[in-house]
Structure 1
Amino acid sequence: MESLAYYDGKIGTPEEMTVPFNDRVHFFGDGCYEATVGANGKVYLLQDHLDRFYTSARLLDIHIPMPKEELGNLLTDLLSKVDSKINFVYWQVTRGVEMRDHVYEDNLPGKLWVLIRPKKLNDPDVAIHLNDEEDTRFYHCNIKTLNLLPSVMTAKRAKRAGFQETVFHRGDIVTECAHANVSVLKDGIFYSHPNDEYILRGIAKTHMIQACYRLGVPVLEKAFTMDFLKNADEVIVTSSSNFCLHASELNGQPVGGKDPATLKAIQNEVLKEFYDYTGCTSLWD
């Protein structure tokens, strides 16, 4: 099977899968999700993603229909049923199925969805181009909800303008990207926005920080400004399916490119963890 879909115990292709009309996701985006990469039959950083998934569900009072260990085993089993060596592994839980009403029933059984499809990872040696926008999203960015319309619209505007990602800021303070985290290197120090309600705590970012510690690169998790980003030595964009990309432009103006040695060392350390974890030998296995 090339791509696989799962809904509430049923397995098939994405085209075969059907979802009840009254699943609350249709009316409210009422759920939370996780996404990572699967390679060589292993779901990358599975425990980290499960921990965040169950935390998001708890904060939203959504009941995941199985324990954490059982879900991990299910994801691993589903991954084994697809043909590609490297895959995008996505799962979500919606609050459940009931007639549309803003006020939901207590203890409604959640509905679990899984999607697994082939994924080509981007080459971290190829620079990407950025733009920026005022961050006008809601104030619960730390919860990985299904309400992604602001990010969807932002991503579309960026693509139309020829950019691969958008840097959000609140006033002059950089928060994150439309669907990634953004960090910078400056004078040999790695800077990243602290984990608060304005950003999603990126697992890829967390592991990149751990890579910095192993390399002896100092880390400061503190807010920084757009000017600080523009004048940084390197601008690094991370997500669960693009571990350590770097930017060369922001709004058509050059950024980064001043500390390639430290950047490459961090990229290599991040990729080594991926290779060691999955047994893959390259991003294109």
Structure 2
Amino acid sequence: MENLAYYDGKVGTVDEVTIPFNDRSHFFGDGVYEATMGANGVPYLVEDHLDRFYSSARALGIVIPSGKDELKQLLFDLLAKVDGDTHFVYWQVTRGVAMRDHVYGSDMEGKLWVLIRPQALGSIRTPVNVTVTEDKRFEYGHVKTLNLLPAVLYSQMAHDRDACETILHRNGVVTECSHSNVSILKDGVFYSHPNDEHILRGIAKTHMIQACYRLGIPVIERAFTLDQLFDADEIMISSSSKFCLPVRSIDGQAVAGRDPENLNALQDELIREFRDYTGSNALD
């Protein structure tokens, strides 16, 4: 298939599968989601993503209509149906279908959606430009909710400023990006914002930290400021498709680029992990 859409047991292309009008996602964004890259028929780090998916659903009281093992097998089966070598693999669960009402019934069962489409994996070696703005989102940053309007606006801001990402801060304290985590290296130490209600617990960030431990790079999970960001030896943004992407300018101001040894070692280790997990050489 050229692409694949799945909704509550129905499978087709994105143009064929339809969604009930009263699915609560339409009115309230009432659901949670996950996404990863697929390579060689394998959804990357799928166990980690499923753990976070179920945690997000529990935080909002949403009932996922299948267990982890069943959903994992479904993702493998659906991925095998789509043409191409590397893919964007996305899934979400909404609270269910009911007449529009802010209050929902306690017996609702969620509706599962899946989207899979071919997508190339770019190089994680190519430095990027980012922009910075104030973080005005609500206090559910740790839940991968469907309410993505702030992420849309911040992503558009980056696009309009010819940047790859928008780094967010609260009163000068860096949190994360519009759809990525941000971490820094300073004096050989890896710093990243702790997992709290202000940031999403990034799977890619978690694996960067694990890679640091294997490499002997000290890790401190502590919030850092904008001043520390601009003074960092290296700045990295990480997501399910950008595992460790170096930042070389912020709003046109040159930054980082002063610890290539640790940066390259970290990137090499993440590429090795990806290849071991998927059996694919698509990432470089």
Which category of TM-score, normalised to the shorter sequence, fits these structures? over 0.9
1:233 deviation in Å? Answer: 0.3
User: Cα deviations across residues 162-208 of structure 1 (Å, max 9, x unaligned)?
Assistant: 11100000001000000000000000000000000000000000001
Distance in 1 (alpha carbons) for counterparts of 2:2 and 2:188 = 43
Quick one: which amino acid aligns to residue 144 of structure 2?
K
1:107 deviation in Å? Answer: 2.1
Distance in 1 (alpha carbons) for counterparts of 2:234 and 2:212 = 14
Contact 1:129–1:247 under 8 Å retained in 2: yes
1:29 matched to 2:34? The reply is: no
Distance in 1 (alpha carbons) for counterparts of 2:161 and 2:38 = 31
Match runs of 1:232-243 below 5 Å: 232-243=232-243
Distance in 2 (alpha carbons) for counterparts of 1:249 and 1:204 = 22
Partner SS, residue 166 of structure 1: strand
Distance in 1 (alpha carbons) for counterparts of 2:146 and 2:222 = 27
Distance in 2 (alpha carbons) for counterparts of 1:264 and 1:282 = 18
Distance in 2 (alpha carbons) for counterparts of 1:2 and 1:248 = 36
Match runs of 1:135-284 below 5 Å: 135-283=135-283
- Runs of 4+ off more than 6 Å: none
Quick one: which amino acid aligns to residue 108 of structure 1?
M
Count residues in correspondence: 284
Partner SS, residue 243 of structure 2: strand
1:2 deviation in Å? Answer: 1.9
Distance in 1 (alpha carbons) for counterparts of 2:245 and 2:156 = 20
Look up the match of 1:130. 130
Quick one: which amino acid aligns to residue 41 of structure 2?
G
Look up the match of 1:15. 15
Distance in 1 (alpha carbons) for counterparts of 2:231 and 2:164 = 20
Partner SS, residue 37 of structure 1: strand
Q: Which runs of 5+ in 1 are unaligned?
A: none
Quick one: which amino acid aligns to residue 33 of structure 1?
Y
1:89 matched to 2:78? The reply is: no
1:41 matched to 2:33? The reply is: no
Contact 2:211–2:266 under 8 Å retained in 1: yes
Match runs of 1:31-110 below 5 Å: 31-110=31-110
Distance in 2 (alpha carbons) for counterparts of 1:96 and 1:166 = 33
Quick one: which amino acid aligns to residue 63 of structure 2?
H
Distance in 2 (alpha carbons) for counterparts of 1:177 and 1:243 = 14
Contact 1:63–1:107 under 8 Å retained in 2: no
Between the two proteins, what is the percent identity of the paired residues? 61
1:146 deviation in Å? Answer: 0.1
- Give the superposed CA RMSD: 0.8
Partner SS, residue 210 of structure 1: helix
Distance in 1 (alpha carbons) for counterparts of 2:107 and 2:193 = 35
Partner SS, residue 229 of structure 1: helix
Distance in 2 (alpha carbons) for counterparts of 1:16 and 1:260 = 48
User: Cα deviations across residues 150-171 of structure 1 (Å, max 9, x unaligned)?
Assistant: 1101111110111110000000
User: Cα deviations across residues 32-90 of structure 1 (Å, max 9, x unaligned)?
Assistant: 00000111111111110000000000110001011111000100100111111110100
Partner SS, residue 243 of structure 1: coil
